[in-house]
Amino acid sequence: MRTVLFEDLGEIAYDAALSYQETLLKANLDIKSEWYNTPEAARPADVATQHHLLFCSHPHVYTLGKSGHMENLLVNDSRLKELNVSFFKTNRGGDITYHGPGQIVGYPILDLEHFVTDLGKYMRNLEEVMIGMLAKYGIEAGRLPGATGVWLDADVKGRARKICAMGVRCSRWVTMHGFALNVNTDLSYFGHIVPCGITDKSVTSMQQELGREVDVQEVKDILIEQFEEVFGAEVVMELPVTNKE
């Protein structure tokens, strides 16, 4: 069982969270590089990389993945300023999505050589964490063939709606980026983009599905439990983080 260090960053600017992820990623890549460059006879039995799970939320922001298309952003710069929404091109997979208050954004920084060296399986595992958590609330969720993320009524024509978007980057089997779960999210912000580049599907939130505001901390606690179960890991609390703004 691998130990995963957990940090709740609270609300943090998107670029600050990205910088922190890149710092953790680089630290692990340096550890792996040193291990591989050590003569085999002198190497420790295992690579001493650290695994992290970061939770946070962001001020209103649209992010475009490396395979995304600018035409899926439906507003110009002046309208973005009116909406008080930032915009970033980023190095994750996927197209355009929205982050904002009322979401739980999760960034696992994992060395998959200690879990599973299959990026598709890793994505399915992240989806399984969400599916298991949503089931605790009586929300039946699943997958949409050919798409990432977690969906409701994926097999019902005209009813499919995404509740959790996903996009990751992986370098030498170390991951960054992750998922954005709509809990009490203002879904109107998705109306200014083509979410994930998919034109014929909608988005939803736990609040919309349940008809009530949801306790975000309760959801975080269940997500951690599900993460431990799916990934066979022990999630432990890291010391509070400061000065990431």
What amino acid occupies position 27? A
What amino acid occupies position 81? K
DSSP 127-174: HHHHHHHHHHTT---B--TT--SEEESTTSTTT-EEEEEEEEEEETTE
225 torsion bin: left (phi>0), alpha (psi -120 to 50), beta (else)? alpha
Half-sphere exposure of 50 (CA within 13 A, CB side): 14
Per annotation, catalytic residue among 56, 164, 170, 196: 196
Annotated binding-site positions for substrate: 92-99, 165-167, 178-180
Which alpha helices (DSSP H) does the chain contain, by range?
14-37, 77-83, 119-136, 206-210, 216-231
> CA separation (Å) from 179 to 84, 158, 198?
23, 24, 17
Whether residue 196 lies in the annotated active site: yes
Backbone angles phi, psi at 146, to 5 degrees: 85, 0
Beta bridge partners of 164: 150, 181
Annotated binding-site positions: 92-99, 165-167, 178-180
Find the angle CA(21)-CA(224)-CA(98) to the nearest 5 degrees. Answer: 50
Any idea which residues carry the catalytic annotation? Answer: 196
